[in-house]
Amino acid sequence: MSGYKSENTVATKGGKLFEHYCDSKGCKAWGSFGYKTAFGQLWFCREHKQEGEDALAGRKK
């Protein structure tokens, strides 16, 4: 490991995993699809992804 300023360097820990749950009413699934709207960030699961698409386009349900 020559060439480094210190042989005692410690690798920093990675960032904390953010937990995003589906924003659809009553759904407890993991929200893997994020949508940034004028009202903030919304997260939806695969089943409710269309709700996120509608929110992004400004369409109401």
Say if 12 falls within a structural domain: no
Quote the domain boundaries for residue 46: 18-61
What is the pTM for the complete model shown?
A: 0.66
The predicted structure's pLDDT at residue 59: 80
| pLDDT tens for each residue of 14-40 | 666 678 899 999 999 999 999 998 888
Does residue 5 form part of some domain? no
pLDDT bucket at 1, cuts 50 / 70 / 90: very low
Question: Is 23 among the domain residues?
Answer: yes
Is the backbone of residue 26 left (phi > 0), alpha (psi -120 to 50) or beta? Answer: left
How confident is the prediction for the chain on average, in pLDDT?
81
| Banded model confidence at residue 48, pLDDT cuts 50, 70, 90 | very high
Q: Where does residue 10 rank: exposed (0-12), middle (13-18), buried (19+ CB within 10 A)?
A: exposed
Residue 52 lies in a domain: yes
